[in-house]
Amino acid sequence: MNNLSNTSKDMREAVAGLRENGILAPDILTCDGKWHRCSTADKPNRMGSAYKVVNISPLLMSYRNRRTGTSGLIYIGNGRTVNELPEIKALIQAEIESLLKKHGNVISPDAFARLHALT
C-alpha cells in the first residue's frame, strides 16, 4: 500500500480539496487505486463519503460525497496542464466515465461541468 507523505505539498492540497467538498479525509491518503470511505463534515460519525487516488504524480483523485450528492475529480499538476499530459487526460476521461456510469444520478450539474472543464 502506498501513502502520500503527510509533508507532501500535493497531499496537503488534495486533503484541502476534499475538505472543501465536505469530505473529512485523513491527513495521510492511501494511494492504491481503491475507494476509501471517510466521514463528511456534517456527519463526522458516519462514513458518507469516499476518495480514490488514481495517479500519484501528477496527483489525480476521484471523490464522492453521498450526503451532498456530489462527485468529482481533484487534479494537482504542479503547473502542468492536462493537455500537456495525454496519459493523465486519458485517466481523467476514464474516471469521468466511471463516475457517470456508477453515480450518474449523483453527480451534480456543477460537478459535471467541472469534470468536463478538465478535459
User: What average pLDDT score do residues 2-30 get?
Assistant: 79
pLDDT single digits (tens) 19-56? 988 999 888 888 888 989 999 988 888 888 999 888 87
- Give me the sheet containing 70-76, strands edge to edge: 23-24, 36-40, 49-55, 59-65, 70-76
Query: Count of domains in the chain?
Result: 1
Q: Is residue 102 part of a domain?
A: yes
Q: Is residue 89 part of a domain?
A: yes
Q: Give the domain range for residue 66.
A: 9-118
Residues 6+ apart with CB under 8 A from 7: none
Q: Is residue 4 part of a domain?
A: no
Q: Is residue 2 part of a domain?
A: no
pLDDT higher than 60, residue 116: no
Q: Is residue 1 part of a domain?
A: no
Among residues 11, 84, 82, 90, which one has the least CA distance to residue 53?
11
Q: Is residue 57 part of a domain?
A: yes
Lowest mean pLDDT among 48-57, 86-95, 99-108: 99-108
In which residue are the cell numbers 492504491 written? 32
Which contacts (CB < 8 Å, 24+ apart) does range 104-107 have? 106/64, 106/66, 106/69, 106/70, 106/71, 107/70, 107/71, 107/72
- Give the pLDDT band of residue 114 (cuts 50, 70, 90): low
pLDDT recorded at residue 58: 79
Q: Is residue 3 part of a domain?
A: no
Supply angle C-alpha 84, 7, 13, rounded to 5. Answer: 45
d(CA 50, CA 67): 11
Q: Is residue 81 part of a domain?
A: yes
Q: What is the pTM of this model?
A: 0.70
